[in-house]
A and B are shown apart, each in its own frame.
Chain A
């Protein structure tokens, strides 16, 4: 993908992250008292509400794409060479895939998994 397009991705995810993170903070500290917000039963009900599960998945993807693309931009500024660019880009894609997959696993198991001990 062209660098100009990747910067647009960075700005789009930045705006989305501001909105989603604000909503996340409001849920954790305004709608419920913090102690209630982090209680097991409350989190379970949040995950099992389809809208919030999609919201948390969107938050996960947006923040990780923005974060790792941001690190990529910083690393690309340090050095300019074809191998460096290739490795940093590949590492960024790999990091996004691994972390999004791990976070998505949490969301899927929280939504569909049976409650254990």
Chain B
């Protein structure tokens, strides 16, 4: 491969994330970790804005029941609760998959090195990490169900 081609291949940016060609579970986990991370940050920025209405918004001077009621009238409805359920879903996936990445970074759940053998297929991350990816997915779905029950069924 020419140097130029190699550079182009390594500079696919977001297009590289969105090209699922030859993706395995680990690669999907990598993509979702980044997408959910950016989504959570956007939610946190919105949450910073809406919670500031507890003190009257950007120009407020102290706790204000009327400003809090105003912001609640905008977000406390079925659509707002649906967004919260999605936030819980992605937060749980991001958190547990993130713990997997921290453990891997410190070498705690890496598979043992082995000889490279024909046909040289990538061997993946090992059983421990794959299990954690599936745990992250299962926990995220369970947490979303819990959030649904809390928000729509009044459980809590």
Report which A residues bind B (CB closer than 8 A). 7, 11, 14-15, 17-18, 21-22, 25, 29-30, 32-35, 37-38, 40, 43-44, 47, 60, 63-64, 67-68, 70-71, 74, 78-79, 99, 102-103, 105-106, 109-110, 113-117
**What residues of chain A lie closer than 8 Å to B154, measured between beta carbons?**
33-35
Residue ranges of B at the interface with A (Cβ–Cβ < 8 Å): 11, 13-14, 34, 37-38, 40-41, 44-45, 48, 51-52, 54-56, 60-66, 68-69, 72, 76, 88, 91, 95, 98-99, 101-102, 105, 146-147, 150-151, 154-156
Residue with the highest number of chain B CB atoms closer than 10 Å, among A29, A30, A33, A44: A29
Chain A residues whose C-beta falls within 8 Å of the C-beta of B76 in the assembled complex: 38
Quick one: closest A residue to B45, CB to CB? Answer: A99
Within 8 Å by CB of A113, from B37, B62, B69, B99, lies B62
> Chain B interface secondary structure, helix, strand, loop or mixed?
helix
B48 surroundings in chain A (CB, below 8 A): 60, 99, 102-103, 106
